[in-house]
Amino acid sequence: MIVPVYNPGPHLAEALDSLLAQTWTDWEAVVVDDGSTEDLRWIARLDPRIRLLRQANQGVSAARNTAIKEATGGLLAFLDQDDAWLPAKLARQAEWMGRHPAVVLTSTGFERVDDDGGYVGPGYVGYNGSYDELLQGCGICASTVVARRDGVLAAGLFRPLLVSQDWDLWLRLAEHQPITHLPEVLARYREHPKQGSADFRQLYRDACIVLADHQHRSLSRVGLARVRHLSGAQALDAARRCWARRDVRAVRHLGYAMRYAPAMVWRALLSRTWTQVSRLRAHRV
């Protein structure tokens, strides 16, 4: 298990509890403290199967790479500090990978939850695990992934991108070996209300870097358009959540949504306006 942490706050305990609750018990976890100011020594006391390593702050890619190099198992499962697994996750994927030795990576379905653990919605719906579809945008949540360690090492580990380091590695793996996706929901991905506009801009910059490595594929242009769409969708979703809280950052998020996906924003605004007009007419009648 690969668990990078940096000043994780209260949600790390839930993440590690979900690891300890797995029905598959033959595992080791390498937790890498990437220069936290919090005291995380309690992690090493949770279970003898958990190893805690410390390093100077270098970012999530470097923390994951340290854990991968230290891991001794043939399969790697990734768990981010704010996310959680359902109890059958490891068992389901270990069994699948055992029956499909040519597969280098498998991901699963997941659900999105808010900062308090409340259900927000499903994860990426309709992703089928193909390389061509993955090239159009990352349909894989890192905390759902189980991958073969030798394949990850051969692919060159994670690059130090700020936002798209996951997508970058999944593409490099999928280009040379089969990957699969199990639609069953086996993980929870936590969304945070403090996500900033810089994330949307960085997502677009990183996507350009990633797709530049795959220009030999005709879908690269489609992929860039897809990334613009996803960046806009994320910004629009952030604007909606801020607006619901009367947070002035909604205006800034809406501006970035207009930059990346203006048609989507206009559809959303027109839909909202028409709904309000319909309600007004119904009230007058």
Boundaries of every domain in the chain: 2-192, 220-284
Residue pair 173/151 in contact (Cβ under 8 Å)? The answer is yes
Residue 28 sits at φ, ψ, to 5 deg, of -130, 150
Instruction: State the architecture of 2-192 in CATH terms.
Output: Alpha-Beta Complex (3.90)
Q: Which pair of tokens denotes residue 19?
A: 């690891």
Task: Going from the first residue of the chain to its last (285 residues), give the mean pLDDT of each consecutive group of 10, the final group possibly shorter.
Answer: 96 97 98 97 97 97 98 98 98 98 96 91 77 78 97 94 85 92 95 61 72 58 63 76 78 78 76 46 42
pLDDT of residue 257: 79
pLDDT of residue 190: 94
pLDDT of residue 219: 46
pLDDT of residue 194: 58
DSSP H/E element including 170: helix 165-174
Give Cα separations from 78 to 87, 271, 279, 281 (angstroms): 15, 39, 47, 52
Q: Which of 191, 186, 181, 182 is nearest to 119 (CA)?
A: 191
Angle, CA of 177, 181 and 187, to the nearest 5°:
130
pLDDT of residue 273: 45
Q: Which residues of 16-35 are buried (b: 16+ CB within 10 A; e: fewer)?
A: bebbeebeeeebebbbbbbe
Amino acid (one-letter) located at 20: L
Angle, CA of 116, 117 and 122, to the nearest 5°:
135
